[in-house]
Amino acid sequence: AAKQQQAGTVVYHPGLDSTSEESLTLLSELRYAVDHNQLRLFLQPKVNLRTGQVIGAEALVRWEHPERGLVPPMRFIPFAEQTGFISTLTHWMLEQCAQAAAHLAAEGFPLKLSVNLSTRDLMDQDLPTRMEQLLATQRVPSNTLVLEITESAIMDDPQRALQTLGRLHAMGLRLSIDDFGTGYSSLAYLKRLPVDELKIDKSFVMNMESDLQDAKIVRSTIDLAHNLGLSVVAEGVENAKSWKLLSGLSCDEGQGYFIARPMPAAQFLHWVRHWQP
Ligand code: C2E
Ligand code: CA
Ligand code: CA
Ligand code: CA
């Protein structure tokens, strides 16, 4: 079944046939959600691990459903990708982030906001043009936005991804490889892609203080990134010990529950003002 009632929550299975009645219902629900302000922008801080200074935040979507409460992205992102609805969602996120970045800058915090792109977005030839219009309307410098792309999204159609990403990078947007180390990528693409940043997947970071193998992977990734002239971010920083280990390994930035959980965008400015590393 496409929907499964589980203790008050509904799970949408990504495998669902996009022409089925249930999936048409979900699609119209998602459209309704965008038009009726049910989507929420959440922000999770990214900090400099040496100084503790806030550098920016990752934008994460939530769906505030009137009956089901806060629906996490993994419940609807895969479906949105399958049906192509993701381009509407990505555009909404980019718009919200441009607005939020402009507001933060006006309050004295010119921070970088990272938005997740999916495979579909990379195949969308109109994305660079839409991005240009967006940046012009919101009057935010293009380097305030960071685009997070996974290795698998790039490897889907490397030629085309390279083209789209090249145009976006030429416009001044920063590019980050998300979940680094978990996909089947070719290191050769790191050389050819105009990438600025690597994000070490949380699966390696979360246990690095107890698992020697994970610690070695983290260390090698940091060295690889630095040797290629890239900045490196660790996600999944869950305790003081991993922060210390990471800063000892010269990891540039960190993100994780130890610093802060993702929060509604409206709370972010307050958090930044009161943050003390
Ligand atoms: P991601 O891009 O890898 O995002 C990081 C995820 O790790 C977020 O989950 C975040 O809440 C979680 N996280 C952060 N710090 C910690 C930590 O210290 N420990 C643990 N265990 N988890 C941590 P979230 O918000 O549920 O998002 C899940 C995934 O959904 C994201 O993974 C991303 O792939 C996707 N996603 C979320 N928002 C969007 C969006 O606007 N567009 C697209 N295309 N995908 C999105
Ligand atoms: Ca991400
Ligand atoms: Ca990630
Ligand atoms: Ca992930």
Q: What is the pLDDT of residue 145?
A: 97
For residues 129 and 124, what is the distance between their CA atoms, to the nearest angstrom?
A: 10
d(CA 97, CA 77): 18
Torsion (CA) 258, 261, 265, 267 in degrees, nearest 10: -70
Distance from Cα 136 to the centre of ligand 4, integer Å: 30
Q: Which residue has the tokens 């192509």?
A: 84
Q: Residue 234 pLDDT more than 70?
A: yes
Nearest protein Cα to ligand 1, atom 20: 236
Indicate whether 1 pLDDT > 90.
no
For residue 145, count other CB atoms closer than 10 A to its CB: 26
Among 60, 85, 86, name the best residue to mutate to test ligand 1's pocket (greatest count of ligand atoms within 8 A of Cβ).
60
Q: Is 44 in the pocket of ligand 1 (CB under 6 A)?
A: yes
Report the nearest-CA residue for atom 21 of ligand 1: 236
% of residues, the chain, pLDDT over 70? 92
At 5 the pLDDT is: 42
Residue nearest to atom 8 of ligand 1 (CA): 60
Judge contact between 168 and 154, C-beta under 8 A: no
The pLDDT tens digits for 242-263 are: 999 999 999 999 999 999 999 9
- Please tell me the number of Cα atoms within 13 Å of 54 on its side-chain side: 24
Task: Return the pLDDT at 2.
Answer: 38
Q: Quick check: CB of 45 below 6 Å from ligand 1?
A: no
Q: Tell me the pLDDT tens digit for each residue of 164-213.
A: 999 999 999 999 999 998 877 678 788 889 999 999 999 999 999 999 99
CB atoms within 10 A of CB 158: 16
Give the chain's largest Cα–Cα span: 54
Cross-strand partners of 63: 39, 71
pLDDT at position 26: 84
202 lines ligand 1 (CB under 6 A): yes
pLDDT of res. 80: 94
CB 140 within 8 A of CB 102: yes
Residue with tokens 């419940």: 75
**Residue-by-residue DSSP string for 190-208:** HHHS---EEEE-HHHHTTT
Burial profile 247-275: b = 16 or more Cβ within 10 angstroms, e = fewer: bebebbbbbbeebbebbebeebbeebeee
H or E element that contains 168: helix 158-170
Q: Which of 12 and 83 is assigned the larger pLDDT?
A: 83
Q: What is the pLDDT of residue 209?
A: 92
Answer whether 110 contacts ligand 1 (Cβ < 6 A): no
Residue 60 alpha carbon to ligand 1 centre in Å: 6
Ligand 1, atom 38, residue with closest C-alpha: 60
What single-letter DSSP state applies at residue 157? Answer: S
Q: Is the pTM here over 0.80, yes or no?
A: yes
Q: Is the pLDDT confidence value at 6 over 60?
A: no
